[in-house]
Structure 1
Amino acid sequence: MQPNPPQPGFPQHGQPTASGPQPWGQTARPKPRANAAAAMIAGILALLAAAMLVWFALYNVIVATEADGRPSGITVQNMVTGVISAMFLVIAAVFTLARRIPGAWTLFGLCAFSVVAFFVGAPLVWGTPFGTQVKWLFSFDDGDSTAMALTIILAVLTAISAAIAAGVKSYDTKN
């Protein structure tokens, strides 16, 4: 014999109500949150990576103004993508610091995408040989290559810690 299906308007005996306080003796289910320690580490590393991207963009602003007055296409692209990427990283870092699981996964995706874009995307777009791109990225000879190398290192570490933060869930009973 099957039990009667729930009727609209009144909760069945033993089932919590959709709104209002929980019945005596029952507690609300805790919400899954991103792991606190890993989320904090990922958020701080993402903010540092965003600072490196701003450094990269500012370096390109200085390079563009020292030239004959007209910035080249790659310099404008570097300035725009540096600032936009930093904004997206800061937004994802804030949601990760708030221990939101989708924010941590978004931060992971942004960092993984940026590392692939720096190694593979930029050489494909501009026709730069892969070896030349890697040599420039890790040469640490100019401010822009130093900023990009530090951004890549921080992005890899951020992606790892964001994946840990999102994958190892904590359950908060307070919120």
Structure 2
Amino acid sequence: MQPNPPQPGFPQYGQPPMAAGPIPAARRKPRANAPAAVIAGVFALLAAAMLVWFALYNVFVAAEVNGRWSGIMVQNTVFGILSAGLLVVAAGFTLARAIPGAWTLFGLCVFSVVAVFAGTPLVSATTFGAQLKWLFSFDDSDSTAMALMIVFGVLAAVAAAIAASVKSPGKQN
């Protein structure tokens, strides 16, 4: 026959009494650095706003051109809205100081910037030089939105990496 397992509360026969003093608190899960998480979240929300601006520009251009959508306009609109949604979700988790959320935001921002710089010239018939000229010419509203998305995306990626890798100051039990 097995003896009864020890019960919480009063010590049983043969069990040492509990030590006097406060009960140790449970260890908290590590959190992302608070200031860096806020900065990363704000920059990510600004980058998402630039992607929405880019998508809306394509919607209005499509409406002006006889109401016909070209394939590139559909692609720009759909992927602009999807990317903005993903950035907003990752920014929310980063603002909640979740370390996996901050690393996810870092990855999404890096992917977005690399996709605009290198992915578009590789997939389409655009040369790398023409892509850079379009991005940083600031002549149209869509190129301005994408250039600002790149700037905000790089800043969000750096801040998210800092938020995820630096322990938050404060009391750690």
TM-score by length of 1: 0.84
Tell me how far apart the structure 2 counterparts of residues 72 and 26 of structure 1 sit (CA, whole Å).
Answer: 64
The share of aligned pairs that are identical, in percent, is 67
- 1:3 equivalent in structure 2: none
Q: CA deviation at 1:29?
A: 1.4
Gaps of 5+ in 2: 8-14
Name the larger-Rg structure. 2
The TM-score with structure 2 as length reference comes to 0.85
RMSD: 2.2
How many Å separate the matches in 2 of 1:145 and 1:171? 40
Residue 73 of structure 1 is matched in structure 2 by 71
User: For residues 87-129 of structure 1, what are the alpha-carbon distances to aligned partners after superposition, in whole Å with 9 as ceiling and x for unaligned?
Assistant: 0000000000000000000000000000000011111111100
Alignment partner of 1:90 out of 82, 88, 91: 88
Flag structure 1 segments of 5+ consecutive residues without an equivalent. Answer: 1-8, 15-22
1:58 and 2:56 correspond: yes
Higher strand share: 1
Tell me what 1:124 maps to.
Answer: 122
Q: Which 4+ stretches in 1 moved above 6 angstroms?
A: none
Choose from 102, 105, 108 the match for 1:107. Answer: 105
Q: Aligned equivalents of 1:27 and 1:84: distance in 2? A: 42
Size of the aligned set, in residue pairs, is: 158
User: Please, which of 146, 167, 170 is the counterpart of residue 169 of structure 1?
Assistant: 167
- The corresponding residue for 2:10 is none
Looking at structure 1, the residues matched to 92 and 6 of structure 2 have their Cα atoms a distance apart, in angstroms, of 40
